[in-house]
Amino acid sequence: MKKSLLALAIMSTTSAYADEGMWMPQQLPQIAKQLKAAGLKLDPNSLTRLTEFPAGAIVSLGGCSASFVSPQGLVVTNHHCVYNSVAQASTPERDLLANGFVARSLGEELPAAPGTRVFVTKEVLNVTDKIITPEVAKLSGKARSDAIEKNQKTLVAACEADPGHRCTVPAFYGSLEFYQIKQLEIRDVRLVHVPPAGVGKFGGDTDNWMWPRHTGDYGFYRAYVSKDGKAADFSKDNVPYVPNHVLKLAKEGVKEGDFVMAMGYPGRTNRHRLPSEVQFTFDWFYPAFVKASADNLAIIDRETKGNKDVTLKYAGQVASINNYYKNRQGMIDSYATSDFLQRKTAEHEQLKKWINADTKRKAEFADDIDKVEHLIAERDAGVKRNFNYNYAEPRLLMGARTLYRLANENQKPDADRKSGYQVRDLSRLKANMAAMERTFDPKVDKALAMHHMKGYLAQPAAEQKQAFNTALGLRAGMSDAELSAALDKLYSGTKLTNAADRNAWLDKKPADFQGSDDAFIKAAVALYDADLKAEAEEEELAGKLQQAYGSYMKAKIAYMKSKGQAVYPDANSTLRVTYGNVAGRDHGADGSTWTAFTTVKGVLAKHTGTGEFDAPKAQLDAIKAKDFGKYVDPKLKTVPVNFLATLDITGGNSGSAALNAKGELVGLAFDGTLDSIISDWDFNKANTRDIQVDLRYMLWNMKHVDKADNLLKEMGAE
């Protein structure tokens, strides 16, 4: 195979910032000097072996990162990553969110939320030549998208012939490269331990993205498999999974200046975006998102007030909305006071100047650079036009559309079905339907839909979707009373609010849907043809954009290489390594200095006894009594809670293991600081800090407050 673009992108790294980059493990030997200079004691080559220590202990939860910390399949991650499972297991009579939970034995462990998974990576292969074949390279538009999807499905099917595994073929560098990733998909996951909300969510939304921080953001799952070691659905006969590798707990805590690295699955970054994408995102999309999030939070608060059961149902959604709401607003604020767009524009102009300075480069890249700008503008116009429409869709309609699409796709051979509707996807679809039982309420859903439908119906008629209006009985100019009546008719005319009825539709034929008088099922059937047409149009645009964007990235890699600079791919939910050091920073906004650590003294200082700052009495008593045991930091003279480091992380890194120079666990990454989260788009070496919960705080709380001695012994912490 010819040398990959990945190899070309990292051949020269002398100009890379020491702490910048969410590096693919296979890139690490290329930055070995930087890693060693920062303090790494392990051989950088050992970090590339994904099925060996330490990478073999790192797992994905499909949205968060986690790690094995015992030979009995014990998994540690963030409190907010297990939050939905805790919320769904809670009842007004047994509020595990408020009070926490410790399973003293395997038999006391609780099933995690439906659909919870632990993904253990087994193999990673470069399959670019099998995806972008010579035939595919000649195609454009939807034909190209379809051909790429077909090749991906072929590889996935062959990979998943090994039962119990989940395989994906994600794209890198603007779809210039593709890697096949094979993971064991552990489906029986159980909740083991989570501290009370007064620890795990201490500071709540007030402290979210802020420093100083005093949050014990940790929790534990356990992975279970069948007795023969295979992935299996939940069963009382299943046994704990025995991982090949587990992380060792550091005997000594970190101190300021120490090397640290995080291994995890960051979701998405946007550092290779064009200036027009930056401008659209920060001038229109993020402000619209923030407003919609604020509206949704207010509606959910209003509609759940006074009803503890419904409040618990929406607790996970509220936590998620709040997190992204504050994140996006923080990015908007940072952008407003920066020269990011000007710098991005200047860099893009320099790239075009470099391309046009050479006849060969101009012939290869110039047309695609112009084309990608036009295609991005077309895509962004669609995003703007459909924004209210996408928010307005009732959740039951979304479910009905999915069910009807599944029924139609089931009529085809599995290889010909749309991705997302193959046999491999059925367990996920079933889990989504089951999850509604503890995450949905018709009254709340109707209120959310009505609010956004009013915004949608206020748009010009040309921007509305006639098929959608007809199917739901909507029209421009409806009064609030008329719109409410139309929605009441839909909700009163459905049985999809019932779990058994929802599940029954998973096995129905298209004719069953077409003969149904269920209001939301009828709407889904009526919308089907329009949905397929819209999907085809989106895929035509996506295919053209993918091809042009790939050419843009190829040009950028070549340009950066000519300057001796590294180009790591944007994050895409695949395993990455980021490294740096424990470090505080000067906070320019108010002239203060942020120390690298917070301690339990801050918990006492912040505790109010109500709301977001309500630490458990047992913890407060232990702090006041200085009952710290062996978890005292020798310099701080008390127990550290959180620490700052110069790690380059983003969403999806939540729960990532923070490792010391020897690869031992010293904490869990869980957040960033508000003024540096724009690093998803624009990395700032001086400002960027991420926040970890210190392992010593976790272990102290488990030992001296929650009395989770069985788990401490299991992890070798006793």
Catalytic residues: 80, 217, 654
Q: Is 161 exposed, middle or buried (0-12, 13-18, 19+ CB in 10 A)?
A: exposed
Q: For residue 482, which amino acid is it?
A: E
Chain centroid offset of residue 499 CA? 27
Partners of 587 in beta bridges: 592
Alpha helices in 173-285 (DSSP H): 197-200, 204-207, 275-280
Of 709, 700, 711, 675, which is closest to residue 690 (Cα–Cα)? 675
Q: With helix as H, strand as E and coil as C, how does 396-408 read? A: HHHHHHHHHHHHH
Most distant CA pair in the chain, distance: 75
Cα–Cα distance for residue pair 38/504, rounded to 1 Å = 57
The first and second tokens of residue 621, run together, are: 């008593």
Peptide bond before residue 212 is cis, with ω within 30 degrees of 0: yes
Residue positions counted in the chain: 718
Do residues 557 and 8 touch, judged by C-beta distance below 8 A?
Answer: yes
Nearest Cα neighbor of 186 from 242, 224, 240, 237 is: 224
Determine the Cα–Cα distance for residues 511 and 619; give it in Å rounded to an integer.
60
Q: Give me the helix-helix angle, 286-304 and 442-457, nearest 10°.
A: 140
Rounded to 10 deg, the angle between the 359-392 and 519-562 helix axes is 150
Sign of CA dihedral 269, 218, 26, 572: negative
Residues 6 or more apart whose CB falls under 8 angstroms from that of 17 comprise 683, 685
Judging by beta carbons within 10 Å of its beta carbon (0-12, 13-18, 19+), is residue 671 exposed, middle or buried?
buried
